[in-house]
Structure 1
Amino acid sequence: MKFARFIMLIVSIALLVPATHSPAHAQEFELKHDHAEQQQAVEYVCPMHSHIVSDEPGTCPICGMDLEPQQRAEQVSVVVSDQMQQNLGIQTTAVTYDTLWRYYPTIGTVQWNTNEQHHLHSRAAGWVEKLYVRSEGESVQQGDKIYEIYSRELVVAQQDFLQALNGSTNPRLLRDARLRLELLGFAPSLVKQLEQTQEIFYRVPVFAAHSGVVTQLNIAEGMYVEPGLAMMTLIGTDSFWLIADVPERYSDWLRVGSPADITLPQANLNAYETEIEYIYPELDAKTRTQRVRIKLPNSELSNGLLVGMQAAVELYGGPKREALVVPLSSLIITGSDNRIIVRNSEGGFEQRAVHVGLVVGDKAEILHGVEAGEQVVVAGQFLLDSEATLQSNRLNRQQQGKPEVQDAHAHH
């Protein structure tokens, strides 16, 4: 009878111990976790910035929102024997403080300098009798004849001017008649010619006030035009803009006047030293990038510069000292977050979510998630990450299957 009770006691103990690993798998990896402590642990996380985590209630230092409580995820530790670490080629290195020189290589696109953009409007309504600019892309020099217009308003204004010139003794009337012609787009040279010949221009020529390239042409011969119509657009070719896109995480160190190097062999630019001229205030909602405008040399120093060309751009900022740094190779980058594998104090390996800051060369700044001196895995981390994820999912399923968890769900 006593022997039978002893056998039943042994069987009961065996049933209480979960078999989480097969014998073969247990030789390679061992799972360690502590339920009692972590099940009751609560952490406070910003709903907008998930990397802001606190052990106490408070507000987010970035957006000011209240931190929301959530149960701390149970930490899974994967223990690997020394022999297996050698077989898997697992290597670690320490998290250190370092100075990162802000540097970002990117591509810039040559664009028109819109500060040199000029719209041409007719000051008087009328018909375009002759058009000398036939297509977009044509170059126009200052003083070139661009079109001729017949306008009844211009004819009447010329008649009033000649009447004031010949019949009026009031100099103010003559001055007003002359000013009216000029405000209607009558060139000063034409006013002088009208004054000398006293012959009315029925087809009034219009001359280019600026040199440039025609980027928009909205008229054709015979069209009726009014002052509200932008007949054509000219952009000067003495200077261009170079526009580059910079990711959001680099925008905090961009400054007007920061140095930049440009390489564009087609325009005889090789490591040309220049600077950021303007930083656009908006962020592209789709690409999460910010545009910067980089100063280009004038056309005399950059022969062959064309709109649409792409240049290699290197942007530089000052040093960021005392940055917490890990090798870039240690990062496990996913679509939703960034992780690293850390060797804990017990010799096991655990996943750690991190928030990445500045990335320069083969180094990445860590804003949250690790501390200086901790060992991070730089080789073999993907196998450890897969094992930790597998064990964590299995542990979560076991937690969901507990009676108290099921009872909690039943009351919702």
Structure 2
Amino acid sequence: MRKNWKNKLLGLLILLLPFSFSACQDKQKDGTEAGQHMEYTCPMHPQIVQDKPGSCPICGMDLVAKQPANSPAAPVSANLNYLLQPANQTVVSSVHTTQPEQRQVEKEITMSGVVAYDTRRQYIIPARFGGRIEKLYVQFNYQPVRKGQKLYDIYSPELVTAQKELLYLVRNDPGNASLIQGAKQKLRLLGATEGQVSQLIRTGKETYTFSVYSPYNGYVLDPSVTATPPTAPTAASAPGGDGMERMGGTSSPAIGGGSSSNQESPGQGAGFAVREGMYVTTGQALLKVVDASQVWAQFNVASALVGQLRKGTPITITFNHLPGKTLSSVVNLVEPVFDAGENFARVRALLPAQEKTLLIGQLLTGKTTYSTGSALWVPKEAVLDLGTQSVAFLKVNGVFKPTAVRVGQRADDIIEVAQGLTAKDVIAANAQFLVDSESFIRVADNNR
């Protein structure tokens, strides 16, 4: 009987023992929480910290409890340990990879331009002697003229005196060849043609109105007009005309919606500054003749590409309004230009003189190719541009790690890597695929 009571007492103690331990743990936990100072902060404004719950004075959001610094981490199984590494250091993903390729690339430069007059074929016709304009035979800018065509009649006392001197020598001293030849040369230097001198000797009578003829083929302009079309085409060229009709045709030139990059003083189609009845002085610029038998293709090229163009570089030229027509030429001049705060180059190429479809101001497209030299090239999608630097994802031990690279030239869908990779490296073929948040990539931290 006594032994039975002992067994019952021992069983009761065993039943009460777990409750005793639980009560002790609860008491110890309560004591720990009571002794620990809880702080509350705003998720949007972490500078707001209070010792009790409430609302953020800035945005009004409810404050949340801050996690203590010594709080234990949640247990993680061994097969998920790699996830403990920060996401901005390595990324595990099954993505397509590629390797940089060492090779030379043929790159194409595409240039936009216009047909422009050859400035070397623009001639000023000055007054070789003073006098009064009696009659003007050209009336408007871009009027076509031929070599030997009469431009104006002028009265000049100086020219009348020179004619009388020659006639006096011919009549009174015909055997003095040297003096007669000198008098003829004086008339030639004043602008008289051989035909005018011969007619003067044949008729034996001086003329008070002397005709001046054009020494060039082309289009006549007022000297103040700039016969240069816009170098940066912004509109389609105007229809009509053929750009000179080859050496003095009868139709007006096509000037592509404006033959000048600046405003013309008299204006296209307006009269000249010189007029009938006006007195002119020796050396005064009266007219200008532009010869359109040889014209330029003029292009604007970015300064970064100027080093690939030099005199003699072949160019294939196409006409925007005639897509199937092409011409071949070479670079004749590369002119550095600084305009409107921008650095660029103006490239000129001569166009064939026999080409009759050329229109001044006509829009053109020029293409040329060059070799980039041996370099490392990767697909364009393999490099991520962050604005201040470029990044490629290098595969190391089965994971991808962002690494900074320095890029160079671009050609179609590939890009040159000047620094940061080698030909043996394996990188992600599509860098955009690995970007999943704005705080994902920190190249500086990965390179420490």
Does TM, scored on the shorter chain, surpass 0.5?
yes
Identify the match of residue 95 of structure 1 among 96, 100, 114. 100
1:47-100: per-residue Cα shift (whole Å, max 9, x none)?
Answer: xxxxxxxxxxxxxxxxxxxxxxxxxxxxxx543343xxx7xxx75532221220
Shift of 1:212: 0.4
Q: Could you say which structure has the higher strand fraction?
A: 1
Contact 1:267 1:304 in 2 (8 A): no
The aligned counterpart of 1:295 is 350
Structure 2 CA distance for aligned equivalents of residues 113 and 178 of structure 1: 35
The aligned counterpart of 1:72 is none
Shift of 1:185: 0.9
> After alignment, is 290-299 or 181-190 more displaced?
290-299
Structure 1 CA distance for aligned equivalents of residues 324 and 294 of structure 2: 15
1:14-163 mapped onto 2 (5 Å cutoff): 15=69, 31=86, 77-82=88-93, 92-163=97-168
Does the residue aligned with 2:161 lie in a helix, a strand or coil? helix
The aligned counterpart of 1:196 is 202
Identify the match of residue 282 of structure 1 among 329, 336, 339. 336
Q: Does 1:352 align with 2:363?
A: no
Contact 2:118 2:296 in 1 (8 A): yes
Structure 1 CA distance for aligned equivalents of residues 424 and 436 of structure 2: 20
Does the residue aligned with 2:171 lie in a helix, a strand or coil? helix
Identify the match of residue 178 of structure 2 among 159, 172, 179. 172
Question: Measured at CA, do residues 371 and 170 of structure 1 come closer, stay the same or move farther in structure 2, by a change above 3 Å?
Answer: same
Structure 1 CA distance for aligned equivalents of residues 136 and 333 of structure 2: 40
Shift of 1:246: 2.4
Structure 1 CA distance for aligned equivalents of residues 330 and 134 of structure 2: 46
> After alignment, is 151-160 or 246-255 more displaced?
246-255
1:241-300: per-residue Cα shift (whole Å, max 9, x none)?
Answer: 10122223322232333322222265796233x23231324244644322222232223x
Structure 2 spans left out of the alignment, 5+ residues = 1-30, 37-67, 74-81, 224-272
Aligned amino acid, residue 175 of structure 1: Q
Aligned amino acid, residue 159 of structure 1: K
1:13-39: per-residue Cα shift (whole Å, max 9, x none)?
Answer: x7599x9xxxxxxx999648xxxxxxx
Contact 1:277 1:294 in 2 (8 A): yes
The aligned counterpart of 2:43 is none
1:296-315 mapped onto 2 (5 Å cutoff): 296-299=351-354, 302-315=355-368
Aligned amino acid, residue 178 of structure 2: R
The aligned counterpart of 2:259 is none
Structure 1 CA distance for aligned equivalents of residues 342 and 126 of structure 2: 37
The aligned counterpart of 2:48 is none
1:348-405: per-residue Cα shift (whole Å, max 9, x none)?
Answer: 4435252423x3221222333433344255341694694356x589x8xxxxxxxxxx
Structure 2 CA distance for aligned equivalents of residues 29 and 136 of structure 1: 81
Q: Does 1:372 align with 2:423?
A: yes
Q: Could you say which structure has the higher helix fraction?
A: 1
Structure 2 CA distance for aligned equivalents of residues 349 and 112 of structure 1: 57
- Bigger Rg, structure 1 or 2: 2
Q: Does 1:187 align with 2:198?
A: no
Does the residue aligned with 2:345 lie in a helix, a strand or coil? strand
> After alignment, is 204-213 or 285-294 more displaced?
285-294
Aligned amino acid, residue 221 of structure 1: E
The aligned counterpart of 1:248 is 303
> After alignment, is 306-315 or 212-221 more displaced?
212-221
Structure 1 CA distance for aligned equivalents of residues 412 and 391 of structure 2: 18
Q: Does 1:228 align with 2:287?
A: no
Does the residue aligned with 1:251 lie in a helix, a strand or coil? helix
Aligned amino acid, residue 187 of structure 2: L
Question: Measured at CA, do residues 213 and 383 of structure 1 come closer, stay the same or move farther in structure 2, by a change above 3 Å?
Answer: farther
Shift of 1:124: 0.7
Structure 1 spans left out of the alignment, 5+ residues = 9-13, 20-26, 33-76, 396-412
TM-score by length of 1: 0.67
Structure 2 CA distance for aligned equivalents of residues 245 and 382 of structure 1: 39
Shift of 1:338: 5.5
Q: Does 1:340 align with 2:391?
A: yes
How many correspondences in the alignment?
A: 323
Percentage identity across aligned positions? 23
TM-score by length of 2: 0.62
> After alignment, is 96-105 or 227-236 more displaced?
227-236
Structure 2 CA distance for aligned equivalents of residues 295 and 325 of structure 1: 35
Question: Measured at CA, do residues 158 and 247 of structure 1 come closer, stay the same or move farther in structure 2, by a change above 3 Å?
Answer: same
The aligned counterpart of 1:64 is none
